[in-house]
Amino acid sequence: MRHQSILFAGSVIVAAALLVSCMTPGPQPGKSIKGKPGITRSGFLGDYSDLAISDENKGVLVYLKSPGILESYDKFIVDPIEVFLHARSEADSSGSAEVQELANFFRNELIEEIEKGGYQVVQQPGAGVARFRGAITDVRPGAGLDVGVASVEVELLDSQTRERVAAAMDSKRGRRFFNPKGQTKWGDAKKSFREWAEGFRRALDKAHAKK
């Protein structure tokens, strides 16, 4: 297994992972999900036994302690995020500077979305505070006819008890023929990070009954 650790403050949880109340059993750890072969367990989350395939978003692995768990949190500690490549990743481990730039972009998008929703990013544990842990497990550039790929594993912990209250795995691929701005090296990856950040904020809004 190849691991590359690049720290940055930021994380993301897929909106679907935090809205689903009914799940069906997922694939065995280490195996890809049918229809979304990019999702492969990296080992970052450690325990994958509670993850299951979302009924609303096929191919996304999710866990929720309870359907309305996000309503309990309106402040967030954002831990440094690792780039923790899974064994099947084809990412170029030599491109650390470019991946760090992507990490910073990812962080900025997430923090912007959290604050946009009226929530707080804090430094200390407390009541109503959740802690993010996460990792980018694959990231590949788009070039020529190849589309970009980005994959993540994330979990949300209660900041006081450190109990896992939500977790998710997802992978996104770019679309070759529907990019009006044309192909850029990291355009697909950035689009994925932006969508995950927006999705998390929408999940918070829904949990807190915001329109």
Residue 96 lies in a domain: yes
The count of residues in the chain is: 211
Strands (E), 141-199: 149-158, 164-173
> Does residue 101 belong to any structural domain of this protein?
yes
How many structural domains are present in the chain? 1
The answer to whether residue 3 sits within a structural domain is no
- Residue 5 is assigned to a structural domain of this protein: no
**CATH number, domain with residue 157:** 3.30.160
For the chain, 211 residues long, give each residue's pLDDT as a single digit of tens.
Answer: 444 444 333 333 443 343 333 333 333 444 454 444 457 888 999 999 999 887 766 678 889 899 889 999 999 988 877 787 777 776 665 567 888 788 888 888 888 999 999 999 999 999 999 998 888 888 888 766 567 788 888 899 999 999 999 999 988 877 655 555 556 788 888 899 899 889 889 888 999 987 5
Q: Is residue 8 part of a domain?
A: no
| Residues of the domain holding 73 | 15-207
Cβ–Cβ under 8 Å, residues 207 and 18? yes
1 part of a folded domain: no
Instruction: Please give the Cα distance from 137 to 14 (Å, whole number).
Output: 15
pLDDT of residue 125: 97
pTM > 0.85: no
In a domain, 167, yes or no: yes
Q: Is residue 10 part of a domain?
A: no
